[in-house]
Structure 1
Amino acid sequence: MRTSVTLLGFILRIAVAVATMLKAVILIGGPQKGTRFRPLSFEVPKPLFPVAGVPMIQHHIEACAQVPGMQEILLIGFYQPDEPLTRFLEAAQQEFNLPIRYLQEFVPLGTGGGLYHFRDQILAGGPEAFFVLNADVCSDFPLSAMLDAYRHQPHPFLLLGTTANRTQSLNYGCIVENPQTHEVLHYVEKPSTFVSDVINCGIYLFSPEALKPLRDVFQRNQQDGQLEDSSGLWPGAGTIRLEQDVFSALAGQGQIYVHLTDGIWSQIKSAGSALYASRLYLGQYQLTHPERLAKHAPGGPRIRGNVYIHPTAKVAPSAVLGPNVSIGEGVTVGEGVRLRESIVLHGAMLQEHTCVLHTIVGWGSTVGRWARVEGTPNDPNPNDPRAHMDSESLFKDGKLLPAITILGCRVRIPAEVLILNSIVLPHKELSRSFTNQIIL
């Protein structure tokens, strides 16, 4: 009898585990995207760019790994599975003790095409539901709260939403919801006039049934595919845009719901927004990863606010760092350096008494002593009407708009010069000061 009870308990535990099995899909795009992230994306795939000390998509993976019942994380994109990506996946699997696999699209398939193309891989094992996360967003990822909302009211599509002001909402997908039931009644991607102050965060929870509307779009594309569109470029039946082809079409039909969050969120479309995201994540580390934040210690550099310093970095005790600074592997920071609101990448060197503000210093770059490298703060906050959005042009009236300064890979800045609001492409050795320039 005791053996029968034990066996029954084991079977019940297996049944519960199967019933609550979850997966996550991270959409990482491909090299044809992320052009606004240049010149930094020349050196590393955008999803692996370090934000607050770790690769951008590690924040996504950490959040997914903390959800009970998470069985597998899939990355879908059009990048070649090169050495940096392969090395990252191997390290992430070991760190989080989860299967993490990359599924490469044969051609770019849009935000929904990869989900449909790899549907068998996503549904293998019979998951209860699966998260879908865009790689180019920064968030505190309230995935458990989304799961609770989904289980309370199961529907094929659950979107994470946040609020924006009327002006900035035009830069995002806008959601009109029923405030009582949270059903999405209307969805418009980047409208030309104000629609709603609720915007799409690019973080979703889908039931297995959500793939049926994607199948319908695929079949419709197949039927229409022999007729070229007005541009003469047919994208192919496999290309599915979640926002326009699915959300806009199904809004108001009782299939799409929104879960609102007041947590941190921003897009990461450009280097400027990566700097802003780094600030948000460093602030979040106070709660989630306090061990990643540098502490002021006797004989060490002066730390102001939230600062990340890689263990291999060498920082002089007279340096002043912060707030919102991230220092990468093998970086050297000399005596008297002032560093604020900046990211310094692997192997860079800041010589004595340099001042670096609102800047990304590229891999292996050198800033000479007493030089000043400075940009203009760029905060793509959807609730700040003065924010400079990523969708805006770099130029106005033929002039480069003020923005953060970016030094590409292995740039050399001479001593005692000023580099202000400029973008320096990789492998440049400058000989003088520059202001509001793109240095090719």
Structure 2
Amino acid sequence: MAGRGSRLRPHTLTVPKPLIPVAGKPIVHRLVTDIAKVLGEQIEEVAFILGDPAFFGDDVVESLMQLPKELGAKGSIYRQDEPLGTGHAIMSAKESLSGPAVIAYADTLIRADFDLDKSADSVIWVKQVDKPEAFGVVKLSDQNEIVELVEKPQEFVSDLAVIGIYYFKDVGVLKNELQYVLDNNIINGGEYQINDGIKRMMEKGMKFVPGKVDEWMDCGNKDVTVETNQRMLGFLEKDGEGLVSDSLYLQNANIIEPCYIGENVVLKNTTVGPYVSIGNHTTIENSTVKNSLIQAHSTIKNANLDNAMIGNHVVFDGNFETISIGDYSVME
């Protein structure tokens, strides 16, 4: 999670993208929790690979360290000093690269229920997509093993897109192959890539199999993050998860579920929902809000919002509908 999340600005100017809440919980917290459910066993360590300490500072580290504690695991922080690709990022955490491990990109969310094939050397998690030419995909053998990774194929290879989550029976093997990639300056797209380490493992006859997820949700930009919030709220409602805090104050207000509403939220003369997430200590008055994501400590008045994303400590009073406002903004 070392990137700056530039496609999600202005929201990532003050908060790293994996820490932006979706349906009331930071993206990376949801991701790690969902991976833990698929693994079905005790996790020993959660290692986070961060970028520049000036951006990923002590407050970010403190927030992240809560997650391993909740899982009863050790937490580790590593830094990628330069944005030199996925392979380089992973090697920034080489002290933790031993034994069975999952490697995941922290800006995506999943819903998955499959048995992890731990007899394989690696499982690459994939999702069936409508336009495989826009993704990196896997090529399968007749034995349903992955024999090739193909980036944005112009001719049909498969419709199984790589989503950026990998299981390795012994991640130390990947470490050794990525060290070779770094030592020999093997660069693709101007960067050191995890795929080059994986390809070297395949060339040595190691077994790779697909793990198919049911849902794959992106948080790359504002529109898809609002859509992901919508989909996640629907899933959480089906799961029976409580989404509305008991500390909510209502005055002539209506909630159309599913919605996530945090602590000490005030709704006056307002209709909220469906598919709205509201952070702690936010007040909304004389407004209609649907299909939107509003963070904490903000004040919204006289608004008619749809497909909106509003940050923390925002004051908004106006009739714009589809907006994207970062933290500490005022629009009156």
TM-score category (smaller protein): 0.7 to 0.9
Query: What's 1:183 paired with?
Result: 145
> Where do 1:238-387 residues align within 5 Å?
240-243=192-195, 245-248=196-199, 253-261=205-213, 263-288=214-239, 290-293=241-244, 301-316=253-268, 318-334=269-285, 336-351=286-301, 353-368=302-317, 371-375=318-322
Structure 2 counterpart of 1:308, which letter? Y
**Aligned twin of 1:30:** 3
Which secondary structure state, in structure 2, belongs to the residue aligned with residue 162 of structure 1? Answer: strand
Q: Which amino acid aligns with 1:309?
A: I
- Contact 2:19/2:28 (8 A) holds in 1: yes
Residue 298 of structure 1 deviates from its aligned partner by: 8.7
Query: What's the offset of the Cα at 1:413?
Result: 2.7
Match of 1:72 in 2: 45
Paired residue for 1:161, among 119, 126, 142?
A: 126
Once the 2 structures are TM-superposed, how far is the Cα of residue 120 of structure 1 from its aligned partner? Answer: 3.0
Q: Please report how far the alpha carbon of residue 230 of structure 1 lies from its aligned counterpart in structure 2 after TM superposition.
A: 11
Give the drift of 1:117. 4.1
Whether the aligned pair in 1 keeps the contact of 2:245 and 2:263 (CA below 8 Å) is no
- Alignment-mate amino acid for residue 124 of structure 2: L
Equivalent pair of 2:123/2:209 in contact (CA under 8 Å): yes
Give the whole-Å Cα distance in 1 for the aligned partners of 2:240 and 2:71.
15
Hey, what's the Cα distance between the residues in 2 that align with 1:230 and 1:354? 47
* Aligned partner of residue 315 in structure 1, secondary structure: strand
Matched residue, 1:104: 79
**Contact preservation (8 Å) 2:112, 2:212:** no
For residues 36 and 2 of structure 2, what CA distance do their matches in structure 1 show? 21
After superposition, the C-alpha distances for 1:294-344 in whole angstroms (9 at most, x for unaligned) are 69999673221210111122122x32111110001221111x311001011
- Residues 158/94 of structure 1: CA separation in 2 closer, same or farther (3 Å cut): closer
Q: Is the 8 A contact 2:88 2:182 kept in 1?
A: no
Once residues 115 and 337 of structure 1 are traced to their aligned partners in structure 2, the CA distance between those partners, rounded to angstroms, is 46
- In structure 2, C-alpha distance between the alignment counterparts of 1:117 and 1:82, rounded to whole Å: 17
How far did residue 63 of structure 1 move?
2.5
Q: 1:260 Cα deviation (Å)? A: 1.8
**One-letter identity of the residue aligned with 1:372:** N
* TM-aligned CA distance change 1:136 to 1:215, over 3 Å: same
In the aligned structure 1, how far is the partner of 2:250 from the partner of 2:11?
A: 35
* TM-score between the two structures when normalised by the length of structure 2: 0.87
Kept in 1: contact 2:249–2:264 (CA 8 A) = no
2:140 partner letter:
E
Indicate the percent of aligned positions where both proteins have the same amino acid.
18
Q: Higher relative CO (CA 8 A, sep ≥ 6), structure 1 or 2?
A: 2
Pick from 212, 222, 234 the counterpart of residue 183 of structure 2.
222
Q: Would the alpha carbon gap of residues 37 and 68 (structure 1) be closer, same or farther in structure 2, given more than 3 Å must change?
A: same
Read off the aligned partner of 2:47 and give its amino acid letter: L
Of the two, which has the highest radius of gyration? 1
Question: Who is 2:29 aligned against?
Answer: 58
Three-state SS of the structure 1 residue aligned to 2:176 is helix
Q: CA deviation at 1:248?
A: 4.9
Q: Which runs of 5+ in 1 are unaligned?
A: 1-27, 376-404, 415-440
RMSD: 2.8
Deviations 1:235-276 (A, max 9, x none): 6xxx63113x13455558453211223x22122211222111
Q: Per the alignment, in what secondary structure is the counterpart of residue 177 of structure 2?
A: helix
SS at match of 1:374: coil
Residue 134 of structure 1, CA deviation: 1.0
Compute the displacement of 1:114 (Å).
3.3
Letter in 1 for 2:97: I
Tell me the equivalent position of 1:89. 64
Q: Does residue 1:410 correspond to 2:319, yes or no? A: no
Structure 2 unaligned regions, length at least 5: none
How far does residue 65 in structure 1 lie from its aligned partner after superposition?
Answer: 4.6
CA distance in 2 between partners of 1:249 and 1:269 (Å): 30
Q: Hey, what does 2:160 align to over in structure 1?
A: 198
Indicate conservation of the 8 Å contact 2:44/2:72, yes or no.
no
| Structure 2 residue matching 1:112: 3-state secondary structure | helix
The amino acid that maps onto 2:103 is V
What SS does the corresponding residue of 1:175 show, helix, strand or coil? strand
The 1:172–1:162 alpha-carbon spacing in structure 2 relative to 1, beyond 3 Å, is same
